[in-house]
Amino acid sequence: MWLIIGKNGFFANNLIRRLASENIAHRTISVPRNSSEVDFVAFEILLRKELPEVSVVVMCSWQGIPVFSARNNAVNLKLHQVLITQASEVKDKISVYCFGSCAEYDGLSGAVNEESVGSTLSSLGHIKNKIFKYLEMMVSENLQCYWIVPFFAAGPFQRNGSLFDHICRSVGNQSKCSVSKSIHCDFVHIQDVFDVVLAVNKSSFSLNNVTRINVGSGRLVDYAELADLVPRWAQQMGAKEFHIEGVDRVPNQSDFYSSNKIRDFLIQKSPRSLEQILTDCYRSMMSAPKV
């Protein structure tokens, strides 16, 4: 039995649907999206009830995206601490999957691996490092922790205004699509991330008590590639004469990509393409109930 913490966010929504499609039994715990509404005592009580009944826990909840304020960071740290503390007290063996961020590699360039260390971390990078260190401190004989680090994950049910959501809505509405000229990112399909989680769970793969696994596409995508690809893809979706307009914004600090050595060892297949990310986002958007 799996326990998914989070229910309506980007990661949780996709993972719950993936588990259902593969007939994997699971339960969910909802966490308020507003950090001021989080009740840590209630969360701890609920975990004490649920954790003894499950063998896998996936922490999908993250408060405040895309606002990484001191308050939101503190709440996210505390939620992870409560989870790991309670999981470490479970008598039976349990695996906990938490998600890091490629922000942990800020300041680097080129291919990065699980041993790489960022040099100029943002507040998000710092708080993710704190959570990882807490995992290292709390692991026990019966507690295996996996730190899955997606690079720029994208796919269906992403928040409004995110890059691929913006592109797909612009195509669907035949409206203006403005994209930063400074984009330089390793984009990865959200299902590539869950391919890794499922593969790890089936294989009992482990390097040590806290196993870090980077998940990316293995390459950087820039504005020029998007400007060339998206109009051709949009035409396949039925849009006519669609194009992307480049705008000058704050330079993207990402100049690194995942080496994917561990991911490729586990999955042994190529990551999904940019076209697949766009298509899945678009089809999900078009099939959603009209409000």
**pLDDT of res. 91:** 86
Q: Examine the pLDDT at 217 and tell me if it is beyond 50.
A: yes
Total residue count of the chain as it appears in this document: 291
What is the band of 248 on the pLDDT scale with cuts at 50, 70, 90?
confident
Q: Examine the pLDDT at 136 and tell me if it is beyond 80.
A: yes
Q: Examine the pLDDT at 286 and tell me if it is beyond 70.
A: yes
Q: For the ranges 54-63, 124-133, 190-199, 281-290, which has the lowest average pLDDT?
A: 281-290
- 147, 148, 151, 156 alpha-carbon torsion, rounded to 10°: -140
d(CA 1, CA 53) in angstroms, rounded, equals: 7
Residue 182 one-letter amino acid: S
Which of 59-68, 139-148, 151-160, 173-182 has the highest mean predicted lDDT (pLDDT)? 151-160
Q: Examine the pLDDT at 254 and tell me if it is beyond 80.
A: no
* Mean pLDDT on 74-92: 94
Q: For the ranges 24-38, 58-72, 202-216, which has the lowest average pLDDT?
A: 202-216
Specify the higher pLDDT residue, 290 or 37.
Answer: 37
Cite the beta strand spans of the chain per DSSP E.
2-5, 26-29, 56-59, 94-99, 109-112, 143-150, 152-154, 178-180, 184-185, 187-189, 210-215, 221-222, 245-247, 255-258
Domains and CATH numbers, the chain: 2-155+188-219+254-271 (3.40.50.720)
250, two tokens:
């704050």
Q: Examine the pLDDT at 288 and tell me if it is beyond 80.
A: no
Please, what is the average pLDDT of the chain? 90
Residue 236 buriedness (CB in 10 A; 0-12 / 13-18 / 19+)? exposed
Q: What percent of the chain has pLDDT over 90?
A: 66
pLDDT per residue as tens digits for the range 62-78:
987 777 889 999 999 99
d(CA 190, CA 40) in angstroms, rounded, equals: 28
What is the band of 42 on the pLDDT scale with cuts at 50, 70, 90?
very high
Q: What angle do CA 229, 216, 128 make, to 5 degrees?
A: 130
| Eight-state DSSP code of residue 35 | G
* Three-class secondary structure of residue 189 per DSSP: strand
Q: Examine the pLDDT at 291 and tell me if it is beyond 50.
A: no
* Three-class secondary structure of residue 145 per DSSP: strand
In terms of C-beta distances under 8 Å and separation of at least 24 residues, what long-range contacts does 40-48 make, across chains too? 40/78, 40/79, 40/82, 43/79, 43/82, 44/82, 44/86, 47/82, 47/83, 47/86, 47/87, 48/86
Q: Examine the pLDDT at 290 and tell me if it is beyond 60.
A: no
Q: For the ranges 98-107, 128-137, 237-246, which has the lowest average pLDDT?
A: 237-246
